[in-house]
Structure 1
Amino acid sequence: MVNLWNNARMQLLGQGPSSEVWNHPLPKTQQLVQEEMSGGNQVITDLFVALTIILAMGFIPASFVVYLVHEKASNGKHQQLLTGISPVMYWFSNYCWDFVNYLVPLLVCVIIFAAFQAMAYSGANLPAIVVLLLFYGLCMTPLMYCAEPLFAVPSTAYVTLICLNIFTGTISTLAILTLEAFVEELPTLMPILDFGQTIFPWTLPNYCLGRALLDIAVNHYANFAYEEFGVCVHEQGAVCFKDPLSWDVSGHYIFNLVLMAPAWFFLRLLIEWGCFLRGFKARRLARILQSAARPGEEGPQVEDEAVLAERSRVQSSARSAKAGLGDSLVIDNLEK
């Protein structure tokens, strides 16, 4: 622009020659190049973003249990089952309605990512984020249903499940990241790391959400280094660009969520049908019958005066009935 302005001035002055300007910027330092290639401190920022999403999303599935606990406490669920609604239809209808409600905060979350242009969670990575959050809601909702029998007060259920979601999501994600950072220096941590990486993805949807978000962010900066500088920083040198939905990035976490969703829902149906309580109920009934068969072992029972008076009257009436006098029907040896 400066060169064009100077040439225009010289033409107005009637001078023939023109000027040219060259710019030679200073080369970037090695530290600056490495920060641009790896994302620098932005990866740490994206980690906190992932943890924040875990905190925010932990409130939504927990809120679905509040109405269910209220229905159980007020016998609303019992009345629906008495009218002929099957347990499968009851839980499936709640599942569909809660998932529709879950789509609203999911849409808001996606709009926020797109509006603020978060580097790792927008653009080409946005479809992966949408799919991940979608299946997280499908999996987390029936998991919260499984905790419904443990509560009788809706507010207690809400607060407890929120704390449980936040704790399991943040602690599991940070624990695995910490173990991965120190496992090379301390090889004795490898069994613990393997155990966590094997168990957490199949039991904790919160871990799948947080870890998948972080892996998407790391993959974004690795792809950025290849696109901008032509440097392949992935662990597998043959693959320098990975799709965020690929198996190595977020694909296996989404796969775990897809399989866990029907598993948790089927577990809730088993709890509804009493499959895990039949043995407990049978043992309790056996103890009750045994105690009823041996009433003398319970110790002497104190009877009030009215019971004693009625007992003596019935016994005398029974003797009179044998003689053809007194009450026509006598039921003896009843206890109050």
Structure 2
Amino acid sequence: MQAIPPRGNEKSAALGFYNGQTYHGKGITMNYMMNTFLQTTLNRSFSLHTTLSPLPKDLKKASEKNTVISHIAGHVVGLLISFGMTFLTTMFVFFPIKERQVGAKHMQVVSGVGPITYWLSAFIWDFINYIFPSMLLPLIFASYSKSAYMDDDRYMLIILVLVIYGVSALSFTYVLQFAFDSAPTGLVMVVITGIISGPVTTTAVFILRIPDLNTEGYADTLDWIFMTIFPNYNLAACFSNIYTNYINMMICTNVECAIEISSCCPAHCRFFKICTTYETNYMAWKRPGIGPYVLFMACQGFVYIVILMLVEYHVPQRLWYLISGSLEEYECGCEGSMASTIDSDVAVEERRVNSCRASLLFSKDSTDSLLLLNLYKCYGTFIAVDHISLGVPEQECFGLLGQNGAGKTTTFKMLTGDVMVTSGNAYLKGHDVRNNIKKVQANMGYCPQFDALIDQMTGRETLTMYARLRGIPEANIPVVVNSLIDILMLKPHADKLAGQYSGGNKRKLSTAMALVGDPPFIMLDEPSAGMDPKARRQLWNVLSQVRASGRTLVLTSHSMEECDALCTRIAIMVNGKFVCLGSPQHLKNKFGQGYTLIVQMGLLPDGTMAPNEPFIKFIRENFPDATVFDDHQGYIHFQVPDANVKLAHVFSLMESSKTNLNVQDYSVHQTTLEQIFLTFTRNQVPPKEDKFRSFLAKTCCGLCK
């Protein structure tokens, strides 16, 4: 306080200073100044006593305000916990998608791993990695003395909610992974799904419960829908309701409904916009109890596990087979519908395979190890495999050739159970792929087109794992693994991570995986792709020894030299159909009659390339049946189909043309298997990618394939 000069009739004046940050600052200053003036005018025996009191509270508004604050606080707590737990649980979707994407999961299934074994081991590992970080949450509540979650043994309730949520969230994540083919994309989409199904849905229901909006009915409906489907929503609701219930109990503890009006009193709720409700039993069914949310979370865990097992045991596929009809009976004398338009060898094989009932083909007199009976596969409107029929005898090395998109890999996928058969059937050792796929897989070794390796395992660990899956006695596993490592020249790289292997070494390891357990039937999809010449020759020797030991092999390859060296029979596949069938020499004799002439034109004096037309006219005058197979940049490729043409005559004409027609160089040789292959595959139509395939369609394909 400071004395100031009086003005007018004033006898004395003073200026008071006060702290504006406190509500009572003004009052204290005024009281101090009034007492100063009083005691200055009279004496110190006089004084003024001032009491500062707020206006009487509006109990109704205060009660409503406390209730709203408790609901907001509970919602924020549930929202934040749900947001954090979403990121924790959705991370586990990456490796299931990754293993399915690269084919590692399918390789384990082919090697004998059942769905229960695969998913139970994955669940145990994921749950351990989930539960330890989750248990930090009660510790954080305890360290900050959060009574809402720790008093009266409520920490046990928190642990129960976290355990049940872990089961339901992981099973929900496992089901979602079927919708994605890329691990990074799947991870991002599942995280987004988790955020939408947790924080977003929780906030939507919270907003709809605002009394002024009059949308409580919509909120209750959405609450039941989200409660039924989403584990993340239930988790947020549990933590939100526990906190809200605790705060409401604290507000209503000392309220006496008989002598005061309060939103805590059920009889007085009609006077308030919002009631302050609470339950002494936190597991109560009525809000803000968490009973229904815990129950539905537990049910979700069970339901999603059942869905997962239904998909893994191919129940949708079996239902599709049931609806579309089982394998038709093949009556004697039945011929393929395309017999008049296909190659005679293919037609003969088709008649042989389809000439009798399927059961008769597996009598003791039958020599066929593999039978394809009108095997057909389509994706929407695209036909990948078009009613192919084939028998592969014991101890044969059968080669399946064709360009990319011809249907080779799709055929392999149907035989291994990776995709469902649209119609027709296939038999391996008497077991059909539609109804006894596990028995088919038990007799099969499989090397997929793309390396189905787990990057975090070494080559030795990978082969050891598959040896155990194949049932090799533990004492014999080191010998088997070391033998495969040696014969495929993987010894320098055996203890390196598979993710660090070169492309050629990955193919070696994939081939070794197919040979583990010495299966009677081996399928190899481009086994030598990416190998160096030495390793390729070594692989050919190994496969020749495998076939000599009594095993049956089916392989695909882009190397005609490989097929010529290994295969006893070859089929060329174009647009999902067999266009020719027979031994390599048979195909050369049938489709490669005559000679192949390759000519390189020389340069004219002015430095330009000599014209092709005069030489083409010259060849056609001397060999009327000759056709130009290729004409590019001075190189001309002729096919001379007339086998009666004397080789000496061809050389004589070519020597004379070197001077007269500016021919720089030429070569004459018998038609090769590769040229026959190119002749047929020129008619291959590349598949069209459907860029507008919907998310739902992809999901359905993932469930039913």
TM-score by length of structure 2 reads 0.35
Counterpart pick for 1:165 among 194, 200, 214: 194
Letter in 2 for 1:44: I
Letter in 2 for 1:90: Y
Counterpart-to-counterpart distance in 2, 1:117 and 1:61: 27
Counterpart-to-counterpart distance in 2, 1:212 and 1:164: 20
2:296 corresponds in structure 1 to 256
Letter in 1 for 2:377: L
1:220 Cα shift? 0.8
Letter in 1 for 2:302: P
1:245 aligns with 2:283: yes
1:289 Cα shift? 8.9
Letter in 2 for 1:30: K
2:140 corresponds in structure 1 to 112
Change (3 A) 1:89 1:41: same
1:203 Cα shift? 0.4
Letter in 1 for 2:311: I
1:228 Cα shift? 4.0
For residues 34-83 of structure 1, give each alpha carbon's deviation from its aligned partner in whole angstroms, at most 9, with x where no partner exists.
46993663542332221111110001221111121222233322232223
Counterpart-to-counterpart distance in 1, 2:278 and 2:207: 26
1:147 aligns with 2:187: no
1:312 Cα shift? 6.9
Change (3 A) 1:180 1:285: same
1:180 aligns with 2:220: no
Counterpart-to-counterpart distance in 2, 1:289 and 1:63: 35
Counterpart-to-counterpart distance in 1, 2:297 and 2:130: 16
More helix by share: 1
Counterpart-to-counterpart distance in 2, 1:106 and 1:48: 19
Letter in 2 for 1:71: E
Counterpart-to-counterpart distance in 2, 1:206 and 1:46: 16
1:30 aligns with 2:57: yes
For residues 225-263 of structure 1, give each alpha carbon's deviation from its aligned partner in whole angstroms, at most 9, with x where no partner exists.
2334456855756x9752222222001110111111111
Q: Do the aligned residues in 1 keep the contact of 2:64 with 2:263 (CA within 8 Å)?
A: no
Change (3 A) 1:185 1:59: closer
1:204 Cα shift? 0.9
Counterpart-to-counterpart distance in 1, 2:280 and 2:243: 12
Letter in 1 for 2:223: Q
2:241 corresponds in structure 1 to 215
Structure 2: runs of 5 or more not aligned:
1-50, 268-276, 326-375, 389-574, 576-586, 595-640, 644-678, 682-705
Q: Do the aligned residues in 1 keep the contact of 2:70 with 2:248 (CA within 8 Å)?
A: no
Q: Do the aligned residues in 1 keep the contact of 2:75 with 2:206 (CA within 8 Å)?
A: no
Q: 1:198-237 alignment to 2 at 5 Å?
A: 198-230=224-256
Letter in 2 for 1:210: A
1:147 is paired with a residue whose SS is: helix
How many aligned residue pairs are there?
284
Counterpart-to-counterpart distance in 2, 1:91 and 1:70: 14
Counterpart-to-counterpart distance in 1, 2:206 and 2:197: 14
Counterpart-to-counterpart distance in 2, 1:230 and 1:258: 39
Q: Do the aligned residues in 2 keep the contact of 1:222 with 1:233 (CA within 8 Å)?
A: no
Q: Considering only aligned residues, what root-mean-square deviation do their CA atoms show, in Å?
A: 4.0
Counterpart-to-counterpart distance in 2, 1:312 and 1:61: 61
Letter in 2 for 1:215: N
2:210 is paired with a residue whose SS is: helix
Change (3 A) 1:186 1:80: same
Q: Do the aligned residues in 2 keep the contact of 1:36 with 1:225 (CA within 8 Å)?
A: no
1:31 Cα shift? 6.0
Q: Do the aligned residues in 2 keep the contact of 1:64 with 1:141 (CA within 8 Å)?
A: yes
Q: Do the aligned residues in 1 keep the contact of 2:70 with 2:244 (CA within 8 Å)?
A: no
Counterpart pick for 1:311 among 591, 603, 610: 591
Letter in 2 for 1:103: I
Counterpart-to-counterpart distance in 2, 1:52 and 1:169: 10
Structure 1: runs of 5 or more not aligned:
1-23, 299-306, 318-333
Counterpart-to-counterpart distance in 1, 2:590 and 2:264: 90
1:273 corresponds in structure 2 to 313
Q: Do the aligned residues in 1 keep the contact of 2:171 with 2:305 (CA within 8 Å)?
A: yes
Change (3 A) 1:157 1:240: closer
1:195 aligns with 2:218: no
1:175 is paired with a residue whose SS is: helix
2:77 corresponds in structure 1 to 49
Letter in 1 for 2:284: S
Change (3 A) 1:160 1:292: same
Counterpart-to-counterpart distance in 1, 2:265 and 2:207: 19
Q: 1:93-112 alignment to 2 at 5 Å?
A: 93-112=121-140
More strand by share: 2
Change (3 A) 1:229 1:100: same
Question: What is the percent sequence identity of the aligned residues?
Answer: 21
Q: Do the aligned residues in 1 keep the contact of 2:93 with 2:186 (CA within 8 Å)?
A: yes
For residues 184-235 of structure 1, give each alpha carbon's deviation from its aligned partner in whole angstroms, at most 9, with x where no partner exists.
7546x73x33431321111011111112222212211221123344568557
1:156 Cα shift? 2.1
Q: 1:297-308 alignment to 2 at 5 Å?
A: none
